[in-house]
Amino acid sequence: MPVLSANEIMFTAFEPKVQNRFIMYIDGIPAYLIKKAASPSLEAGEIVLDHINVYRKVKGKVRWNDMTLELYDPITPSGAQAVMEWVRLSHESVTGRDGYSDFYKKDITLDVLGPVGDIISEWVVKGAYVKSATFGDYDWANDQAINLSVTIAMDYCVLNF
């Protein structure tokens, strides 16, 4: 019969992270406009090696997946205007001019907060830019707030703690 260790018998403190405790910092977009943010995620590709009569697999290149953000669009300051200012750094619709990546790529910080507002985890998204943006829907039969949807592509992410 196995003997239980002291770690298995005694109480272990446990406080889960909660979805609504976060704050995201993006240069040019006020933090309180960000309603929802997807966590960073990645995919590691694979390389299949054909060796005699078996296949071996090794890890391939890592690709960071796009992040989707949902923002409020108040009258002032306009969320749509803030997103369009970032888009205009990469492409100006009127002139057709495209910008350099130094202009439109930004570093984003996603801070996960604890129950008392302390930062318990920090993601830094490096080289982020707007891949797509949807500026909400208008409907006479609906009195809901307008939400913006922004898809962010990035170079890579760092989990600091």
CA 156-84-123 angle, 5° bins: 25
Residue 10 confidence (pLDDT):
78
Whether 103 is in a domain gets the answer yes
Locus of tokens 């299949």: 48
Per residue in 104-152, pLDDT (tens digit) is 999 999 999 999 999 999 999 999 999 999 999 999 999 999 999 999 9
Tell me the residue range of the domain where 105 lies. Answer: 18-39+65-159
Residue 56 lies in a domain: no
Give the count of domains, the chain. Answer: 1
pLDDT, mean of residues 8-27? 89
Query: Is 46 domain-assigned?
Result: no
Residues 6+ apart with CB under 8 A from 68: 37, 38, 149, 150, 151, 152
Amino acid at 17: K
- Within 10 angstroms of residue 110's Cβ, the number of other Cβ atoms is 22
Q: Is residue 50 part of a domain?
A: no
Question: Is position 1 within any domain?
Answer: no
Q: What is the pLDDT of residues 35-59, one digit of tens each?
A: 999 999 999 999 999 999 999 999 9
Residue 106 lies in a domain: yes
> Does 3 map to a domain?
no
| Percentage, residues of the chain above pLDDT 90 | 90
